[in-house]
Chains A and B, each alone.
Chain A
Amino acid sequence: MAAPTIDAPAVLNRADLTKRLVAKLARDEAVVAGIGNTNFDLYAAGHRPQNFYMLGSMGLACPIALGVALAQPERGVIALEGDGSILMALGCLATIGMVKPRNLTIVIMDNGIYQITGRQKAATASSADIVAIARGAGIANSHWVRDETHFEELVSRRFDADGPALLAANIDDAPGTAQPVRDPPLIRHRFMRGLGTARRSALDA
């Protein structure tokens, strides 16, 4: 990412940042992770009942997270998304900037490439600045992550207030380290159990 809104952020690691984030989740926050490496590293950080793993619908992590945030305004909700995915869905930042859900936080893992499809360069590699775009879309509480310590500071807060917020981290090109089972109904059902919204039956015993 060539045009960050801060000076030269450190190159961080997605798996490491994801583990640091998950370690801060103290109130059963919902985490919606976009396709590919973003959700692979969420899974690798240790499955939680409130995790949702996407298997398609590239670009929809933030809209899905917005829906969860609207449905459960008392719960903190976090969207994890890659730079290529958010570039596909920049309009949703305008919607979130307009709706202003106080319980929604977006974390963009920006390595400047479409890593999983063959490392093609994204616009974020040369010209597009996700934080500037988010601020322009009305998400004033948007920040580049300077380093690991700064990230820890930024996620050491309650996620059910002071949103919407967006954090963008300049990351390396390390691939995801584990993959969730590709069983969408199971993922959806377990997520709903984690949110307390699943239909209860003896089959869950």
Chain B
Amino acid sequence: MTWADTFLRTLKENDVRLVTYVPDNVLTPLIDGAAADNYFMSIGATREDEAVGTLAGAYMGGLRGVAMMQTSGFALIANALASLIVPYQIPAIIAVSERGTLGEFNIGQVTVARTMRPTLDSIAVTHHTLTDEATMPLIVDKSIKQAFTTQSPVVFIFSPLLTGGNPAAAAKLT
């Protein structure tokens, strides 16, 4: 079972049905896997903060969801986290593919990646970096459960160590 299969299975086991996303190369197995599975309701958003807003509304309506994006998209959601998700205590599940490290070719991605963890730390949002298939199932399952029981968001950062990184980036470096 691949990391993407494991993540989608864990979402199902925790009744997380709504998938909002802005496309990303690395997360394609997750986005396509969810779109191909009738269990999930997949909504492509035009911006990452929109995806987070939809997730918040769905939660309040009784539908659990996850927002998927890449690192640069994460930089667009600081206000949605700081003025909606955190103060209203909404257990948003957010999946971010990590670019800007371990072989990145685009300096813009490198710089924006440096803002991600400090931003999350500054507003006390729990985040876990997923690096290997052995520990990932437990981290994801326990953290999703913790998010819903404590009314708190959680961010999963999908490291290139887990995903293999962006194939386009690998090609540019050779």
Given contacts A55-B83, A94-B46, contact A67 B89 (CB under 8 A): no
Q: Which of B46, B47, B54 has the most CB of A within 10 A?
A: B54
Q: Which of A51-89 contact B (CB under 8 A)?
A: 52, 54-60, 62-72, 75, 89
Q: Is the interface of A mostly helix, strand, loop or mixed?
A: helix
**Count of chain A residues with Cβ under 8 Å from any Cβ of B?**
38
Q: In the complex, A66 Cα to B88 Cα: how many Å?
A: 18
Given contacts A64-B53, A92-B50, contact A99 B61 (CB under 8 A): no
Whether B33 sits at the interface, judged by CB under 8 Å, is no
Q: Interface stretch among A155-163, A164-172, A189-197? A: A189-197
Q: In the complex, A49 Cα to B82 Cα: how many Å?
A: 25
- Is the pair B57, A65 in contact by a Cβ cutoff of 8 Å? yes
- Is the pair B84, A195 in contact by a Cβ cutoff of 8 Å? no
**Count of chain B residues with Cβ under 8 Å from any Cβ of A?**
33
- Is the pair A56, B82 in contact by a Cβ cutoff of 8 Å? yes
- Is the pair A56, B84 in contact by a Cβ cutoff of 8 Å? yes
Chain B residues closer than 8 Å to A54, beta-carbon distance: 84
Given contacts A56-B82, A57-B79, A188-B89, contact A71 B61 (CB under 8 A): yes
> In the complex, what's the smallest C-beta–C-beta distance from A113 to chain B, in angstroms?
22
Given contacts A70-B41, A70-B61, A99-B43, contact A188 B88 (CB under 8 A): yes
> What is the chain B residue whose CB lies nearest that of A189?
B89
Chain B residues closer than 8 Å to A92, beta-carbon distance: 45-47, 50, 53
- Is the pair A67, B54 in contact by a Cβ cutoff of 8 Å? yes
> What is the chain B residue whose CB lies nearest that of A65?
B57
Whether A177 sits at the interface, judged by CB under 8 Å, is no
> What is the chain B residue whose CB lies nearest that of A54?
B84
> In the complex, what's the smallest C-beta–C-beta distance from B2 to chain A, in angstroms?
28
10 smallest CB-CB distances across A and B, nearest first, come from: A56-B83, A67-B57, A71-B61, A91-B46, A63-B53, A71-B63, A60-B53, A67-B58, A64-B57, A197-B62
Known: A64-B60, A67-B61, A94-B46. 20 other contacts (CB 8 A): A32-B57, A54-B84, A63-B45, A63-B53, A63-B54, A66-B57, A67-B54, A67-B55, A67-B56, A67-B57, A68-B60, A71-B61, A72-B61, A72-B62, A89-B50, A92-B45, A95-B46, A99-B43, A185-B89, A197-B61
Interface of A toward B, CB cutoff 8 Å = 30, 32, 52, 54-60, 62-72, 75, 89, 91-92, 94-95, 98-99, 184-185, 187-188, 191-192, 195-197
Question: What are 7 sample pairs from A and B whose C-beta atoms fall under 8 A apart?
Answer: A55-B87, A56-B87, A67-B18, A70-B43, A184-B87, A188-B89, A197-B61
